[in-house]
Structure 1
Amino acid sequence: MTLDEKLDQFYHAAIESATNQNIQIVEEYKKSLQEIYDEYKKEAERKADALYRGESEKLLQEKNRTLSTEAIKLKRKISDKSAELSEKLFMEASEKLKSFITSPDYFILLCNQIMGAVDYANGEDMTIYINPSDEGLKASLEEKTKTSLTISTRDFMGGIRAVIHGRNILIDNSFLTKLEELKSSYIIQ
């Protein structure tokens, strides 16, 4: 083999070796870049996911806050409307009671309440009060029930109140008390 052939063979071997080393270096560099890219991609996805979750939670909290505020407003409106309707209902009831007081049935009711109180007292000392507006009915009621009545100094819309002194018992069949009891128990939720 001649020197030129040896040089040529050496040249080709060196070129081939350099090319193989170059290819290996490029492959290692590509592999290194791919690893850096994959790592960067994972980090970017993690950050994006964390940002997404954070923003989702903020939106959810804002939605819940808005819903809570609106629910409170609705409850307040319902409560106001309920109070308005309750007031209207009890005003109508008061008007019906005033109308009832002028009817003959009211006289019968008073007689029944008086007789019920007398029966409950069972002969014990008691005072039966009628409303000041019923002063005109006093004589008729006393005659009908054979019971002494006292005109109250306080207006209680109608009905009777009786005190059994020996047992410290108050029998309160007044319209005002009954209406107040209904108002306090009449709560719309």
Structure 2
Amino acid sequence: MTLEEKISHLKAISMEQARAEGNAIIDSHRESLEKVFEDHKAEAVRQAETRIKAETTNAKLKLNQAMAKSQLELKRENGKVQQELKDKLFEEVRALVDDYMKTDAYREFLIKCIRQAEHFAGGAAVTIYINPSDEHRKDELERETGSQLTVSREDFIGGMRAVIRTRNVLIDNSFKTQLDNEYDRFIFSGGDGIG
């Protein structure tokens, strides 16, 4: 082999070896970069999933807050409407009571209440009060019941009240007390069970 052939052969082997080493370095670097890329991609996916979960939780929280606020506003509005209806209903009831107080049935009711109070007193001193609006009935009621009646200074709408001082007893058949009690107890019950 000539010197030129040896140089050429050495050159070819050196180039082949250099290419092999270069390719190995490139392959190693490529694998390293692919590993870094895969790690980075996995981290980015993890961060995105965490952000999505956080945003989803935040959105649900905001939705729940908005729903709670809306429900509270609906309850307030419902309560306001119910109060208006209740007041209107009791205005109508009061008008019906006023109409009732003009009837003979009301006079009979007063007589019955007065007699029951006298019976309950059982001979003890009893003060029987009628409403100021019934003052025009006083003489007639006294004749009918044989009881001494007092016209109250307080307007209790209608009905009667009796006091047995020796026993600390108040018999309250006044319409004011009965209407107030009914007003306090009255609630609207809807089909959904909300009182």
The answer to which of 108-117 and 158-167 deviates more is: 108-117
Corresponding residue number in structure 2 for 1:160? 160
Pairwise CA RMSD:
1.8
Corresponding residue number in structure 2 for 1:65? 65
Q: Distance in 2 between matches of 1:7 and 1:118?
A: 146
Q: Distance in 2 between matches of 1:27 and 1:145?
A: 121
Q: Distance in 2 between matches of 1:166 and 1:148?
A: 17
The answer to which of 118-127 and 46-55 deviates more is: 46-55
The answer to which of 66-75 and 165-174 deviates more is: 66-75
Pair 1:184-2:187 in alignment: no
Tell me the SS of whatever aligns to 2:127.
strand
Q: CA deviation at 1:58?
A: 2.8
Tell me the SS of whatever aligns to 1:156.
coil
The answer to which of 122-131 and 83-92 deviates more is: 122-131
Corresponding residue number in structure 1 for 2:144? 144
Tell me the SS of whatever aligns to 2:170.
strand
Q: Distance in 2 between matches of 1:8 and 1:120?
A: 141
Q: Distance in 2 between matches of 1:15 and 1:73?
A: 84
Residue type of the alignment partner of 2:31:
K
**Structure 1 residues without counterparts, runs of 5 or longer:** none
Q: Distance in 2 between matches of 1:123 and 1:31?
A: 114
Q: CA deviation at 1:119?
A: 2.1
| Identity level (%) | 35
Residue type of the alignment partner of 1:72:
L
Q: CA deviation at 1:53?
A: 2.5
Q: Distance in 1 between matches of 2:177 and 2:53?
A: 60
Residue type of the alignment partner of 1:134:
D
Corresponding residue number in structure 1 for 2:192? none
Corresponding residue number in structure 2 for 1:94? 94
Q: Distance in 2 between matches of 1:184 and 1:16?
A: 104
Tell me the SS of whatever aligns to 2:114.
helix
The answer to which of 48-57 and 123-132 deviates more is: 48-57
CA deviation profile, 1:119-165 (whole Å, cap 9, x unmatched): 22222211110111112222222222222211111111110101011
**Structure 2 residues without counterparts, runs of 5 or longer:** 189-194
TM-score computed with the length of structure 2 as normaliser: 0.88
Pair 1:129-2:108 in alignment: no
CA deviation profile, 1:73-129 (whole Å, cap 9, x unmatched): 211211110111000000000000000000111011111211221222222211110
Q: Distance in 2 between matches of 1:11 and 1:123?
A: 144
Q: Distance in 2 between matches of 1:160 and 1:25?
A: 112
Q: Distance in 2 between matches of 1:55 and 1:86?
A: 46
Q: Distance in 2 between matches of 1:27 and 1:82?
A: 80
Residue type of the alignment partner of 1:60:
K
Residue type of the alignment partner of 1:54:
A
Pair 1:83-2:107 in alignment: no
TM-score computed with the length of structure 1 as normaliser: 0.90
Tell me the SS of whatever aligns to 2:148.
coil
